[in-house]
């Protein structure tokens, strides 16, 4: 049976892709944190796999894993990708929703164009003007998936960073409940902290099935985790 390179490479295990440890060179003049980052990148099998499968970033595999397990995408959906740069989640989404679907991506940073995706670069999602623009792109329709991979710029002060991260999560949640179709899905990244449980409870007010998710592609030493809310209950009309 003939299969394409993409199909074949997706079947490869990460252990087979990276069979030996890569030793970085020419890093003596770099800072300690930069050296550690380079060593981690060069020995990370998901980095190599992302190159092989033409994903813009290794984070694509986090979404691939979540979708493989929970089936959050299907053809024809409208998906909003918040904090989308460099665009790897949008790559996964547009492939899954196929030509009948729509993906709208927004980020402060530049996102290079990709076929089939509506890109809003250089726009702060938390700015009401940016959310109004997203509403305009929806053109009166509802979203079936809202996903957020946003994270604040780290200050090094844990309490402040956690608070900033939570603010982004709640901003995404508030927007999601406004634009989502009944039965829709919400996926948001956060950092494990004391406020995580409260966020889970707040999401459960609007979504019937809520759970924490830690895909294998998320590094073991990373504090990141995801909350997946499925089956949006809808908003009660007053």
Q: Return the active site residues.
A: 189
Residue 50: cis peptide before it, omega within 30 degrees of 0: no
- Judge whether 166 and 203 are in contact, CB under 8 Å: no
The C-alpha atoms of residue 196 and residue 48 are separated, in whole angstroms, by 32
Residue 14 is classified by DSSP as H
The C-alpha atoms of residue 56 and residue 60 are separated, in whole angstroms, by 8
Q: What residue spans of the chain are helical by DSSP H?
A: 5-11, 14-17, 32-42, 45-52, 60-70, 88-97, 128-138, 158-179, 196-204
- Judge whether 234 and 177 are in contact, CB under 8 Å: no
Picking from 216, 185, 187, 196, the residue whose alpha carbon sits closest to that of residue 83 is: 187
DSSP string, 220-236: TT--EEEEEEEEE--PP
């Amino acid at each position: 049976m003939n299969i394409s390179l993409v199909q074949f490479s997706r079947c490869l295990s990460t252990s087979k892709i990276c069979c030996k440890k890569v030793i970085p060179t020419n890093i003596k003049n770099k800072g300690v944190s930069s050296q550690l980052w380079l060593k981690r990148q060069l020995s990370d099998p998901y980095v190599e796999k992302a190159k092989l499968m033409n994903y813009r970033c290794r984070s694509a595999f986090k979404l691939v894993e979540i979708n493989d397990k929970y089936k959050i995408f299907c053809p024809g959906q409208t998906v909003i990708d918040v904090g989308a740069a460099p665009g790897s989640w949008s790559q996964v989404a547009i492939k899954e929703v196929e030509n009948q679907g729509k993906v709208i991506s927004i980020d402060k940073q530049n996102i290079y164009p990709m076929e089939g995706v509506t890109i809003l670069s250089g726009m702060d999602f938390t700015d009401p003007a940016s959310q109004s623009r997203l509403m305009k792109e929806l053109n009166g329709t509802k979203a079936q998936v809202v996903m957020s991979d946003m994270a604040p710029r780290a200050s090094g002060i844990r309490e402040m960073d956690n608070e900033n991260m939570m603010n982004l999560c709640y901003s995404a949640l508030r927007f999601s409940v406004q634009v989502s179709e009944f039965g829709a899905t919400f996926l948001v990244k956060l950092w494990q902290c004391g406020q995580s449980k409260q966020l889970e409870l707040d999401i459960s007010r609007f979504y019937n099935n809520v759970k924490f998710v830690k895909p294998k592609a998320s590094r073991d030493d990373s504090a990141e985790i995801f909350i997946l809310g499925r089956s949006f209950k809808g908003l009660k009309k007053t």
